[in-house]
Structure 1
Amino acid sequence: MNIAKVLGRALMAPIMIEGGLNQIKSAEYIGGAVENTASKYGVAGQLPADGKTISKIAGTSMVASGIALGLGILPQPAATVLAGQMVVTTLVGHAFWEHEGDERNTHKLQAYKNLAIAGGLLYAASTKK
């Protein structure tokens, strides 16, 4: 057992679990952002469900995958799912290129943090347990 791998996975899990719980609790608000983003990218009519439902499903997936990652249960698939969700989360919640000034800087920092987390998740997905 490599303690660095175990610790690394365990340290990434809480932010994913908390983020997922937030998506579930704030599904109405986040669902609106999902629908707005889908409209901006011209895929609004292609969503499999309304934004609120998508937010709840994505949140549940984040919680389940975060727990699995933290406990080392199928860590590679869990990390892969979470890395993909970080891309969507960044596009929906932190599109810094659409803002200016301090708001742009805040969203840019959050987007870069998400990229760093996604990088760690991709690394976790590419290494054996």
Structure 2
Amino acid sequence: MKPVRSLARVMLSGIFVVSGVRNLQNPGRLVPAAQPITDRVAPLIQNLHPRIPTDTATLVRANSATQLVGGLMLATGRFARPAALVLAGTLVPTTLAGHPFWTNDDPMARNNNQVHFLKNLGLLGGLLLAAADTEGKPGLRWRAGHRIGHSRRSVQRVVRTARREAKIAARSAATARRLPG
């Protein structure tokens, strides 16, 4: 991994590692802000699996743990692309719950939440770039297409060779029939 790429991933992941640890230690401070979002998500989770706990504090802890682990994976470069996608997924409810600037009546609070909302939007963009980054190597789609093209060319070569050999065999057979024997 190139130094710039490594440094960028560490810088991008820092906020997720720090906030993940902080929010795991004290999820209670986030419960009031997260409640409106978790109330909407809880029925969906219950439909998936009825035994999964859907109380707000547990969902905040799960989101925090996911951000901590995903941040560490992104920082170390281990499964960085999937980690970036997972972090992007955790950032959406975090941003909606934590910075709903459209609900603030106070101009200062509205401005502060709008700045943090836009900051998280920028982080989301960075995570999407990290998720799409193939480190200069061809992506899966290109490699699959290249393999298919390579296989197709190999089959065409085999068919041409078989035709050529069949013509040669036919000529040899015709020549053998004409010879007195």
Given residue 107 of structure 1, which amino acid in structure 2 is its aligned partner? Answer: N
Q: Does 1:93 align with 2:90?
A: no
1: CA distance, partners of 2:62 / 2:12: 20
* Matching residue within 51, 55, 62 for 1:50: 55
Moved over 6 A (4+): none
1: CA distance, partners of 2:59 / 2:83: 19
Alignment of 1:1-129 (within 5 A): 1-39=1-39, 43=40, 46=43, 48=45, 49-100=54-105, 101-129=107-135
Given residue 88 of structure 2, which amino acid in structure 1 is its aligned partner? Answer: A
1: CA distance, partners of 2:68 / 2:38: 23
2: CA distance, partners of 1:44 / 1:72: 31
1: CA distance, partners of 2:22 / 2:33: 14
Which ranges of structure 2 fall in alignment gaps of 5 or more residues?
46-53, 136-181
SS of equivalent to 1:73: coil
TM-score (norm 1): 0.89
Closer/same/farther in 2, CA of residues 45 and 113 from structure 1, 3 Å limit: closer
**Match of residue 143 from structure 2:** none
1: CA distance, partners of 2:21 / 2:102: 27
- Identity among equivalent positions (%) equals 30
Alignment RMSD: 1.6
1: CA distance, partners of 2:81 / 2:98: 25
TM-score (norm 2): 0.65
Aligned-residue offset at 1:44: 6.1
What CA deviation, in whole Å up to 9, does each residue of 1:26-76 have, x standing for no partner?
Answer: 31221332223344xxx2651641000001111111000000000000000
Which ranges of structure 1 fall in alignment gaps of 5 or more residues?
none
Aligned residue-pair number: 126
SS of equivalent to 2:60: helix
**Match of residue 176 from structure 2:** none
